[in-house]
Structure 1
Amino acid sequence: MIASNKKLLSAHQLYFLTVQSVSSVMIFAIPYLVNEHSKHNAWISAIITLIFFQLIGWVIFSLHKRLPDKNLFQMTEILTSKWIGKIMNWLYIIYFIGLATYTALYFTYLSKEWTLPVTPLFVVYLIFILMGLYIAKGTITTLARFSGITFLALTGFLLFSISFAIPKMHLLFLLPVGDVPVTKILNGSYHMGIGYAGLSSLLVLLPLLHDKLKTKKRVITFSILTISLIYLVLLVICLAHFGTYSLGLVPIPVLYLLKILTILSIFERMDLIIMCAWISPMLVSYVLYIFIAGIGISENTRFKNKKIIVLVITLIISLLCALFPEAQDNMIRLNNYLLPFTYVFMIGFPILLLAIAMIRKINQSHQNQAGD
């Protein structure tokens, strides 16, 4: 997988890869997480989050525009210094390994809660991690194609299935507007940020897209917009179906709603079909994070053996997973630990790097790439 960073992605491949890798992990739990803080005005939190992350998308694009041929791990050293850049790079490597570990833990949590309650945890971990190791031997182009298939087939099927809950929605559950204090609405938006945790991967993937800057900007904009609209639709449907009190009792509301739905008066238990197949989208996220961490390691060390790097990262993830033998009891705590770091690496560092680039007036876009 790491050896593939010379291969280029098309615009639609980068779009599908971004949307699928970012949204696949928390898609079932976002309504519960936001409702916990914003209650019946959770949909307002989702709209605020949509606008906020479009601004973050602008930051990512502006930073990439100034150094269009450089990925994140190269930007840090150019914009700061060799040693400060390496420190930031290793922090990002640890962060992406952490995201991959979290993805493996969350898949195990979902499986134990929904489809494999009596299967030993280590077996579920083993299935997921070994499949990830197998996929990681491929190329980023292959992963991008795979993400397009999983998005169109599984995410599309998920949205189609859950749309049958729309006739049973009670829109009064979304009212009154503004009844919840602004601080709680903003707190809901803050906690929704965990659903965008992998967005900083764009700073590594954008140089692989050999296209005009305008095209890259559209990819970023529509990727974030698609992710946000998926979350918003699922949140509104779940909130208007369950109400804020009942939604607060269901940690995985999207799957629970699919469980009680009957589609076309024939099909039931769509939750089992979707959950059994959802390993594919989560593997996209997991393998992408391994890919990015591997790029970081190869950029910051003399060690270039790609297969060994992937294997070492996988062993580290396996060890970290072993430290959480009861993952299903620790996911909320793990969310709270991961959330501040997500904002630092997804927002704080990119804004800092962009500010440095602007102050130092670094802009290579006119020299290296046309088409803004």
Structure 2
Amino acid sequence: MKKYAFNEITFIQSILIISGIQVSVGFLAMPRVLAEQAGTDGWISLIIGWIVAVAANLIIVQVMKRCPDGTLLELLTKYIGKWAGIAGGVLLALYFLYIAYTCLIYSVVVTKAWLIPQTPAHIIMLLLLIPTGVIARSGLRVVARYAEVVFLLSLWIPFAYLLPLKDAHWLHLLPLFKEGLKPVLSAVPATFYFFVGFATTFIWYPFLKDKQKASVGIIIANTLTLLVFLFITVVCFVYFSPDRITEYNEPAINVLKTIEFKFIERIEVLFIAFYLFIFSLAWIPFMYLGAFCTSWLFGKQDHRGHLLVLWLLFAGAGFFFMPTSSQSEKMNDFLGKIGYGFEYVFPVFLFLYVWVYDRIKGGKSL
């Protein structure tokens, strides 16, 4: 019997987990970041970043094929030793929990700024943590089902973004490569942050029912993310002028302020309220994965006790110290840097190590 058979996830669920994590938080500020780096050619940088992200994620899949019934922690233990598994568990737990905390703080900042400015930030954080604990304690299968529900509930969002296009100026996109290729290439590292999240493959791979389709799922998930990013980026680029778009922290929200209905005055408020479901696809899976790693370190199969401790730590951190908007942005910048190391650089070195190890030991080549 497979060790992780109880929490197996389907092919579709694996796609929606990766894409949901990637789309969740970076969606709002991404057009501004790209415009600051490469102007209205920033959408080209997205495509290049997608190619790199897909390549890195496929490398992870190839590595995990060497240990199909185990996570990265078992793989490190098998190929390097017990100490490597422990070190990997510690580092991976810290990384996942930092992502969860960073995304949760960003969600609190956005909610307080746009929805309920008079409510204390720690109360907002507590309200967001309550459903987090309920969903994450039930395991990866329930988290995956939650990703499916959020995806279905979010299908209306692209249609809302079509409405501002009646005032769009498509000439903003022309000419291509206005300042040459250098700005486009310089913006590519910034896109790596928006595709962060595929390192979860290190953990959920043994849970996947049909592992033969893992590579196809990776390509579909990252492509779905790319299409969403391209859509919102182009909408913002053609609506705002190249100079104005950099004036807004979250242009994906500001563009909705132009929409007016007789039955609702501020659609962006409704959008942010609903978008909290999509935000949650960042911190809920990562809280579960962080608890999974800490439970593995202590040899526990039940992650719920560790999840409760982490939940209390997050709630306590929100009560005693709540980062400001500028501090939250710095946390996101730091996340982009460590995410580059964990999700782009580390898989390459691990792949090379495993390949050399198997060649020396006479095993099958990757």
Which TM-score applies when normalising by structure 2? 0.91
Q: Corresponding residue for 2:286?
A: 289
Other-structure match for 2:7: 7
Matching residue's letter, 1:328:
S
Give the distance between the partners of 1:209 and 1:221, measured in 2 at CA. 15
Cα distance, 1:27–1:362 mapped onto 2, change above 3 Å: farther
1:65-122: per-residue Cα shift (whole Å, max 9, x none)? 2322221221222233221332122111100000110111011111022111121111
Is this contact kept in 2: 1:106–1:327, CA < 8 A? no
CA contact (8 A) 1:43 1:232 kept: yes
Q: Does 1:94 align with 2:91?
A: no
Structure 1 pair 336–285 and aligned structure 2 pair: CA distance change class (3 A): closer
Matched, 1:260 2:258: yes
- The corresponding residue for 1:248 is 246
Does the C-alpha gap of structure 1 residues 186 and 347 become closer, same or farther in structure 2, counting only changes over 3 Å?
Answer: same
Q: 1:187 to 1:220 in 2, by over 3 A?
A: same
Residue 101 of structure 1 contacts residue 321 of structure 1 at CA under 8 Å; is this kept in 2?
A: no
Residue 169 of structure 1 pairs with residue 186 of structure 2? no
CA distance in 2, matches of 1:346, 1:110: 26
* TM-aligned CA distance change 1:316 to 1:184, over 3 Å: farther
- C-alpha offsets along residues 41-64 of structure 1, whole Å, 9 cap, x if unaligned? 111111111222121222122112
Q: Which residue of 1 aligns with 2:307?
A: 310
Inter-CA distance 258–4: structure 2 relative to 1 (3 Å threshold):
farther
Residue number among 219, 223, 227 corresponding to 1:221 in the alignment = 219
Instruction: Look up the match of 1:233.
Output: 231
**Is the 1:259–1:269 Cα contact (8 Å) retained in structure 2?**
yes
Corresponding residue of 1:203: 202
Task: From the superposition, tell whether residues 217 and 321 of structure 1 become closer, same or farther in structure 2 (CA, over 3 Å).
Answer: same
In the alignment, structure 1 residue 64 sits paired with structure 2 residue 64: yes
> What is the 5 A alignment of 1:124-203?
124-154=124-154, 156-203=155-202
Assess, with a 3 A threshold, how the Cα gap between structure 1 residues 124 and 202 changes in structure 2: closer, same or farther. same
For normalisation by structure 1, the TM-score amounts to 0.90
CA distance in 2, matches of 1:288, 1:179: 40
Q: Is the 8 A contact 2:136 2:142 kept in 1?
A: no
Post-superposition shift, 1:222?
0.2
| SS in structure 2 at match of 1:309 | helix
Q: Aligned equivalents of 1:362 and 1:282: distance in 2?
A: 43
Task: State the identity as a percent.
Answer: 20
The one of 342, 345, 360 equivalent to 2:357 is 360
For the 8 Å contact 1:173–1:243, the answer to whether it is kept is: yes
The equivalent position to 2:273 in structure 1, one of 271, 276, 281, is 276
Residue matched to 2:22: 22
1:164 match: secondary structure: helix
Using the alignment, how far apart are the partners of 1:234 and 1:362 within structure 2? 46
Q: Are positions 1:299 and 2:324 aligned together?
A: no
Structure 1 segments unaligned to the other structure (5+ residues): none
Partners of 2:184 and 2:315 in 1: CA distance = 37
1:83 aligns with 2:80: no
Matched-pair contact (CA < 8 Å) for 1:22–1:195: yes
* Match status 1:330 vs 2:300: no
Change (3 A) 1:184 1:88: farther
The CA distance in 2 between the partners of 1:11 and 1:130, in whole Å, is: 28
CA distance in 2, matches of 1:208, 1:4: 6
1:362 CA drift (Å): 7.2
- How far does the alpha carbon of each residue in 1:178-198 deviate from its partner, in whole angstroms, 9 at most, with x for none? 123544323322112222222
**CA displacement, residues 272-326 of structure 1 (integer Å, 9 cap, x when unaligned):** 2221122222223212101111221122223555222001122333344456524
CA distance in 2, matches of 1:323, 1:52: 39
CA contact (8 A) 1:108 1:327 kept: no
Relative to structure 2, which stretch is displaced further, 337-346 or 11-20?
11-20
Q: What is the rounded CA distance, in whole Å, between the counterparts of 2:182 and 2:80 in structure 1?
A: 36
The one-letter amino acid paired with 1:126 is L
Residue 362 and residue 317 in structure 1: after superposition, are their counterparts in 2 closer, same or farther (change >3 A)?
A: farther
For residues 341 and 323 of structure 1, the distance between their equivalents in structure 2, rounded to whole angstroms, comes to: 25
**Cα RMSD between the aligned structures?**
2.4
Check the 8 A contact 1:66/1:362 in 2, yes or no: no
